Amino acid sequence: MSLTVDVEEIYHDLWPPGEEEILKYYDYKLPKGTFFKPLRSILKIFEDYHVSSTFFVLGEVAEAFPEIVEEIHDLGHEIASHGYMHRDFTKIPFDELEKMEKRNRSLLEKITGETPKGFRAPNFQINTEVLDVLERIGYLYDSSVAPSIKIPGWFGYYGAPLHPYRPSRQNLVKQSEHRDFFEVPVAVFPHIRLPAGGGWFLRNLGVDYVKTAVRLLLRKGLPVVLYFHPLDVDSNVPKFDGIPFHVTRRCGEYTLKAIEHILKTFSDCKRVPVMSMLEEAYGINI
Ligand SMILES: [Zn+2]
């Protein structure tokens, strides 16, 4: 089981119906540190429950606050990339994307002294071409696929495996044998394929919803990758006009307690970084 965290500002995670709405709040100026307090709440729970995990860090946040990245790394967590900027990667020209992400990987490497191996796309917007770019840069895995039914305007790669796999270069829901690059999908209900991995689902559909999915996946011997954001545990999310209520519903105490509840419920399950999950649980030797 891996309880991953996307390290980004609160405004990066607003989920309005379109990118234009995000841009009203996300002006591409320097990050402001709105994530400090909620991130520390997550780190504290992880410390209390001996959780080792993967933190997908946004490059521009790492650039502005390298000491935070160092702190997470020093606590024994895996540092991976969440892209340099919180943009739709499928819309960036590939040569520009490759240059930007190479720089980002070097930046994270400089801060931690270790080369990041994993990647998660901002807003889970991924395609086969972006995966090719990531592989070329030297990443070993991506964790942006929710193998769920398609949710319009959001995500969903119905038919993708529920376990880590080598994605085909033609179709990312298909497996290929000829590649040393892995996709590590996030948690969904195994049969009905409803998404269940993230903070939004935890906050809006409740902790029992996520717990049920986790139980079903574990029963089948499948790995569980959950993901949270600083926003999810922020008790002081500012009011944003035009953002639907469900985007910030039950942020803060509810989610912190829910994460704790999940950790207590599945206390027998090892909580490891994604890279360890690939190496240990699947015998993948990278
Ligand atoms: Zn994000």
- Quick: pLDDT tens for 196-239: 998 999 999 999 999 999 999 999 999 999 999 999 999 988 77
Task: Kindly give the distance from the C-alpha atom of residue 6 to the centroid of ligand 1, in angstroms, as a whole number.
Answer: 6
Mean pLDDT of the chain: 90
CA dihedral sign of residues 199, 49, 58, 227: negative
Task: Quote the pLDDT of residue 17.
Answer: 47
Q: Inform me whether the pLDDT recorded for 264 exceeds 80.
A: yes
β-pairing, 78-81 vs 2-7, is unpaired
Task: Kindly give the distance from the C-alpha atom of residue 118 to the centroid of ligand 1, in angstroms, as a whole number.
Answer: 14
For residue 81, report the phi and psi dihedrals to the nearest 5 degrees: -100, 140
Task: Kindly give the distance from the C-alpha atom of residue 61 to the centroid of ligand 1, in angstroms, as a whole number.
Answer: 11
Task: Kindly give the distance from the C-alpha atom of residue 86 to the centroid of ligand 1, in angstroms, as a whole number.
Answer: 6
Contact at 8 Å (CB) between 262 and 210? yes
In the chain the beta strands, taken as DSSP E runs, fall at 2-7, 54-57, 78-81, 118-119, 141-142, 182-183, 225-228
Task: Calculate the alpha carbon distances from 255 to 1, 268, 282 in Å.
Answer: 18, 21, 30
Q: How far apart are the first and last CA of the chain?
A: 19
CATH number for the region 2-281 comes to 3.20.20.370
Block residue for tokens 């860090």: 57
Q: In what order do the strands lie in the sheet with 182-183?
A: 182-183, 141-142, 118-119, 78-81, 54-57, 2-7, 225-228
What band does 12 get if pLDDT is binned at 50, 70 and 90?
confident
Contact at 8 Å (CB) between 79 and 107? no
Task: Kindly give the distance from the C-alpha atom of residue 4 to the centroid of ligand 1, in angstroms, as a whole number.
Answer: 12
Longest dimension (CA), the chain: 48
**What SS3 state is found at 101?**
helix
Task: Kindly give the distance from the C-alpha atom of residue 59 to the centroid of ligand 1, in angstroms, as a whole number.
Answer: 11
- Quick: pLDDT tens for 172-195: 999 987 888 999 999 999 999 999
CA dihedral sign of residues 140, 232, 240, 156: positive
Residue 239 or 53, more confident: 53
For residue 178, report the phi and psi dihedrals to the nearest 5 degrees: -105, 60
Task: Kindly give the distance from the C-alpha atom of residue 62 to the centroid of ligand 1, in angstroms, as a whole number.
Answer: 13
The domain spans of the chain are 2-281
Task: Kindly give the distance from the C-alpha atom of residue 22 to the centroid of ligand 1, in angstroms, as a whole number.
Answer: 12
Task: Kindly give the distance from the C-alpha atom of residue 13 to the centroid of ligand 1, in angstroms, as a whole number.
Answer: 6
Task: Calculate the alpha carbon distances from 147 to 69, 76, 105, 160 in Å.
Answer: 29, 29, 27, 5
What band does 25 get if pLDDT is binned at 50, 70 and 90?
low
Mean pLDDT, range 62-67, rounded to an integer? 96
Mean pLDDT, range 118-146, rounded to an integer? 95
Distance of CA 246 to the CA centre of its chain: 19
Q: Would you say the pTM of this structure is higher than 0.85?
A: yes
Mean pLDDT, range 113-126, rounded to an integer? 94
Task: Kindly give the distance from the C-alpha atom of residue 56 to the centroid of ligand 1, in angstroms, as a whole number.
Answer: 8
Mean pLDDT, range 32-40, rounded to an integer? 91
User: Percentages helix, strand, coil for the chain, rounded to the nearest 5?
Assistant: 45, 10, 45
Task: Kindly give the distance from the C-alpha atom of residue 82 to the centroid of ligand 1, in angstroms, as a whole number.
Answer: 7
